[in-house]
Chains A and B, each alone.
Chain A
Amino acid sequence: MSAAAGLLLALAAQLLHVALMLAAAPLLVGVIRRVKARLLGRAGPPVLQPWRDLLRLARKQPVVAENASWLFLAAPAAGFAAVLAAAALVPSFALGMASAPVADLLVIGGLLALARCILALAGMDIGTSFGGIGSSREMTYAAFAEPALILVVFTLALLVGTTNLDAIAAVLREGALGLRVSLGLILIAIIAIAIAENGRIPVDNPATHLELTMVHEAMVLEYSGRHLALIELAAALKLLVWMTLIGTVFVPFGMAPAGALPLWWATGMLAWAGKVGVLALALAGFETAIAKMRVFRVPEFLGIALLLALLAVVFLFVSQGFA
């Protein structure tokens, strides 16, 4: 295969990947809502309902507060763009996409942090107390979640020797590293981080709109119309990015290797759908079984994630030092 054909293939995989991520994100939210409703004994909305909501919201004129600045108007698009960029970097069904050389875990973490900061600023822009509370809580949680994420990345970098997600997935896919204790520990840590970052139970309840304890919904309370549509799409996309990230790092099996023919992609897509589906079912079951925790216990919860990641580093570092 010539270099040009390889590049074309990588580009095609990249475009297909982004399109699939965008299409699947609201579906994922729909599936989770549906499963949760069924577990609670309700019929639940159809799986396509989030897509319908988005299309409907996109047609509606947004209502903007009088004292809103340009930041408030620009935030939904900017936040969505950051999440979309992160989504383009996390490989789903094929390795060696066009974005592989820049798919660094730190870049992905930074993009997600950027999206969060933009939304937190927008939450404070109008000046209502709800938005301010939501922003302050979001940043408090982030202050605990990010060090934990950095430690997770550090552990992977120690194991594999790079922070490039594509290279990490390629190495772990071989299975040569075996079942490492450190990998198990950071799996628990990254699940806790993902729960906090996506505002799922027990950290935040995604189904409420009028509660003193809400975080994400409090920040976006003032948004309506197409702005809200963008924010909701970004939130759904973020959830899918985290699930894909966990699947890519910890269960990289079934993904098409770099430079594989498009026939491989079909298997990769099936494997990807399976991985995300299992994670979605697990999330729905977990959220049904557990109650939301008090706001002041969340830093403790994330501190545990931090400590587990630290433990993983200790295991790698110290045992490598004395080998």
Chain B
Amino acid sequence: MDSRLGYGVLSYDLAHLLGAAVLVLSFVLLYQRRMGAVINTYAAQAWVLAAAAAWQGWSQGAPHLYVTALIALGAKGVAIPLALHNIVRRLRIHRSIDTALGVFPSMALGVGLVALSIMVVLPTTLSRGALTREDLALALSVVLMGLLMMITRRSALTQVIGFMSLENGLILAAVGVAGMPLVVELSVAVLVLLAFVVFGVFFFRIRERFDSLDVSHLDRVGGAHR
């Protein structure tokens, strides 16, 4: 590795470190067992993401990234966590995280996914600068970790949080690449908010119907029972 190009330059180091912090928070999401802690971790991830976006805006000299940071902070760092806490309170599901897979196996799978994304991203982007490549690998890992969380959790609420953290990974990839138009980011943010509203309605419907947010009940309805 050519360390003179990348490591040791503050703008690169800090961007890299913030990306890694987002990834570590993805691992923390998998580790948590309480609903409240999961939501708080998701909020923390959004805060770090906002910091990463703002730092990229400063180091790339791209002011529209500050808007991205503000959206991440306001919508995903404050509004959605508050709404999720509200749902948890109203449905009284404080400590009901049922994992389909144990915490340790799912985290081990997570490390495997990170290795996979590095091995996929780095060889295919050899011509790009070190900053873009490793940030892309980090972002892809966050996306894969979000998918993993959606697979390994049974409760609909945690699956939705997995989906949201997946979207955090997408934003992380977007801010790392110079020249992403603001329109795309705005539409993604609006899409997530809309999806969240739909999910919120959905929670109450599932709860009303089955007295639980465990999505394995849905198998019966879908005719997946064998």
Contact = CB atoms under 8 A, between A and B. Distances in A.
Q: Is the interface on chain A under 10, 10 to 19, 20 to 34, or 35 or more residues?
A: 20 to 34
Interface string A156-189: 0000000000000000000111111100110010
B111 A311 contact: yes
Interface residues of B, number: 34
A322 B123 CA distance: 6
Given A314-B114, A314-B118, A315-B118, A181 B20 contact: yes
B17 A184 contact: yes
Contacts of A131: none
A179 B107 contact: no
A319 B104 CA distance: 25
Contact of B107 (A181, A184, A307, A322): A307
B153 to A, nearest CB: 17
Contacts of A307: 27, 107-108, 110-111
Interface in B1-59: 1-3, 7-10, 12-14, 16-17, 19-21, 24, 27, 31
Interface string A55-79: 0000000000000000000000000
A166 B163 CA distance: 46
A307 B130 CA distance: 25
B16 to A, nearest CB: 6
A320 B1 contact: yes
A185 B107 CA distance: 15
Contacts of B14: 179
B66 to A, nearest CB: 23
Contacts of B137: 319
A318 B104 contact: no
B14 to A, nearest CB: 7
B24 A185 contact: yes
Given A318-B118, A323-B2, A188 B24 contact: yes
Interface of A: 175-181, 184-185, 188, 300, 303-304, 307-308, 310-311, 314-315, 318-320, 322-323
Given A177-B3, A178-B9, 16 more contacts: A176-B8, A177-B7, A178-B12, A178-B13, A180-B7, A181-B19, A184-B21, A300-B104, A303-B104, A307-B27, A307-B111, A311-B114, A314-B118, A318-B122, A320-B1, A322-B122
